Structure 1
Amino acid sequence: MVRIYDMKQKEVISTLDGSRLGYICDIEIDLHEGRIKKIIVPGPGKLLGFFGKDMEYQIPWNKIKKIGEDIILVDITSEDVLKESEY
């Protein structure tokens, strides 16, 4: 069993290109089905914190391949899941 707090302590890494995406900052849950829909990892920083939109990696739950002791392996490329923040 894994708690959300524990998952936030693990680094998310892509198995496809080896990129280190960062650490989970949020999750999206489908309350109707009672399932985790996706994990959210902050995207690359804005230039000096001023220019650009807030971006985040929105990784679907079915793309998580392995949750290890220190890392979470995901089967995506960073470009596939980088999206503008909805909040």
Structure 2
Amino acid sequence: MCRSLELKQKEVINISDGRRLGFVSDVIINLEDGRLDAIVIPGAGKFFGIIGKDSEIVIVWDNIKKIGEDIILVDMDERFIRKYFDY
């Protein structure tokens, strides 16, 4: 079991290209099912998740491959990285 605060301390790494995507800034939860649907990472240009561009990367649950102690491994093709306002 993992709290959302613990997720925010984890770095997200894309296993398809080895790129560091950043740290989790938010989560999207389906309130009807009580299920985590996606994690949100500040987009390029964001500073501590609050200052900068308004784009964010949304990674849906199906693309999360492993949640470890310090990192979250995802498998994302850059073409499918969606911005928060497109979710």
TM-score relative to the length of structure 1: 0.81
What TM-score do the two structures reach when normalised by structure 2? 0.81
Q: Deviations over 1:35-85 (max 9, x none)?
A: 111100000017xx4xxx5211100011111111110000113442142x4
- The answer on 1:65 being equivalent to 2:65 is yes
| Structure whose alpha-carbon radius of gyration is higher | 1
Task: Provide the secondary structure at the position in 2 that maps to 1:6.
Answer: helix
Unaligned runs of at least 5 residues, structure 1: none
Count of residues in Structure 1 that have an aligned counterpart in Structure 2: 80
Q: Gaps (5+ residues) in structure 2? A: 47-51
The 5 A counterparts of 1:1-87 are: 1-45=1-45, 49=52, 54-83=54-83, 85-86=84-85
Divergent runs of 4+, >4 A:
none
Cα distance between partner residues in 2 of 1:10 and 1:78: 20
